Amino acid sequence: MILPSHATLAALELSDPAVAAARDRLVAGGRLTQEDGVRLFDAPLLELGRLAGAVARERHGDRVYFTVNRQLNPTNVCVLSCRFCDYAKKAAAPDAYTMTREQIVAHVDPGISEIHIVGGLHNKWRFEDYLNVVRWVKEAKPDLSVKAYTAVEIDFFCRLTKQPAEWVLERLREAGLDALPGGGAEVFSERVRRELFQQKIGGRRWLEIHEIAHRMGIPSNATLLYGHIETRAERVQHMILLRELEDRAPGFFAFIPLAFQPGVTGLVRRQASAIEDLKTIAVSRLVFDNVPHVKSYWVMLGQDTAAMALQFGASDMDGTIGVEKIAHAALAPSPVGIAEEAMVHAIREAGRLPVQRDALYRVVREYGREDRAPAAAVGTPAARAETPASR
């Protein structure tokens, strides 16, 4: 049976058997299995893109979302030492930093609608210090949507305070938190965790914290760090676990595949190819039948691949960011920030309609197809020195 909402999918002519089978299953109202997802990675890229792109268009039409935001990384001091992280420093390191209140508040530009706050697990900070960061930015701009602290940080606050996640999240909400970012998920594989980040929380705890947040009415995102030692099967398993959580406790806005930046970690010689990036975006769009957006995170994909991903199922390009520190500490070659006009230009150039949103996906501005502005990336790779892995 063809569901009426899938008429355009049903009309797609596809020659690859695996992609055509995926289409048929979706059209019949079914969902892709672990085996389907793994098989799709071997399908021809353009066939996969046609299907994933059509699924995204069924959901969002030509709209592609982004936000005018700033990233705030209040400290790079971290008690953990994840192998893939070039950002974290020990307190005594010469390039360790901890921002003052003035430096933190200076990140609240008048024109932004979202602030994204993540950082290290500081050896001296108390929970109150992390609460203050949220309070200060909210006080500086009360209408700002505050997306702050990964599940790794929330778990750290539970240990600091000896309180359950519900208590920690309620205090953060009182301070001004609106949503959780999706970082710290890495790959929900115990094999990978043991090798790369064994001190850090694993998949079970990450999923538990996000489930608690969703049940409290705090929405969030979810990430996947790929392109290191994980297998494609582990990637798909990660997606299925997130999809199951979304079934139990809805609250994810977006799934964000993060391309691992090798930096000086020595884990892999080079970043995943653009083809692997686009396949990961497309497969995730097809697996996640219950999450609104798949995000094309230009900081780690690079601007060109990120724009191309809009034809492969992505419907969100994250934000203008200001000064990004985490991926750039791992030598990401993208600019450290991108101007609003450049974001609008990139989305229009891909034939799509830019829509500015806040962290809660409330529409701030619709741009239409006109007023083509020249692209103007701001910041240069040379400015990366100031800049922090997978947050």
- Taking the least distance from each CB to ligand SF4, the nearer of 73 and 305 is 73
Output the six-digit token pair for 158. 């539970």
Q: Closest by alpha carbon to 345, among 312, 317, 325, 364?
A: 317
d(Cα 115, Cα 76) in Å, to the nearest integer?
A: 17
- Taking the least distance from each CB to ligand SF4, the nearer of 76 and 303 is 76
Q: Please report, as a single letter, which amino acid is at residue 27.
A: V
Q: Please report, as a single letter, which amino acid is at residue 316.
A: D
Beta-carbon contacts of 19 under 8 Å, excluding residues fewer than 6 positions away, are 40, 43, 44, 47, 48, 50, 51
Smallest gap, in angstroms, from Cβ of residue 75 to ligand SF4? 9
- Taking the least distance from each CB to ligand SF4, the nearer of 136 and 197 is 197
Smallest gap, in angstroms, from Cβ of residue 37 to ligand SF4? 26
Smallest gap, in angstroms, from Cβ of residue 120 to ligand SF4? 5
Smallest gap, in angstroms, from Cβ of residue 119 to ligand SF4? 7
Helix (H, G, I), strand (E, B) or coil at 363: strand
Q: Please report, as a single letter, which amino acid is at residue 312.
A: F
Smallest gap, in angstroms, from Cβ of residue 80 to ligand SF4? 4
Q: Which residue has the tokens 């690079």?
A: 302
- Taking the least distance from each CB to ligand SF4, the nearer of 120 and 335 is 120
Smallest gap, in angstroms, from Cβ of residue 121 to ligand SF4? 6
DSSP 319: E
Smallest gap, in angstroms, from Cβ of residue 342 to ligand SF4? 29
d(Cα 200, Cα 323) in Å, to the nearest integer?
A: 26
- Taking the least distance from each CB to ligand SF4, the nearer of 86 and 341 is 86
Strand partners, 337: 378
Output the six-digit token pair for 33. 């299995």
* Binding residues vs ligand SF4 (CB under 6 A): 78, 80-82, 85, 87-88, 120-121, 152, 200, 389-390
> Other CB atoms closer than 10 Å to residue 263's CB: what's the count?
19
Dihedrals phi, psi of 66, to nearest 5 degrees: -155, 170
Dihedrals phi, psi of 313, to nearest 5 degrees: 110, -10
- Taking the least distance from each CB to ligand SF4, the nearer of 123 and 273 is 123
Output the six-digit token pair for 326. 């985490």
- Taking the least distance from each CB to ligand SF4, the nearer of 48 and 78 is 78
Q: Which residue has the tokens 């969030």?
A: 220
Smallest gap, in angstroms, from Cβ of residue 152 to ligand SF4? 5
Q: Do the Cβ atoms of 229 and 196 come closer than 8 Å?
A: yes
d(Cα 282, Cα 312) in Å, to the nearest integer?
A: 5
C-alpha dihedral over 334, 377, 252, 44, to 10 degrees?
-60
- Taking the least distance from each CB to ligand SF4, the nearer of 120 and 337 is 120
Smallest gap, in angstroms, from Cβ of residue 356 to ligand SF4? 29
- Taking the least distance from each CB to ligand SF4, the nearer of 228 and 285 is 228
Q: Do the Cβ atoms of 336 and 328 come closer than 8 Å?
A: yes
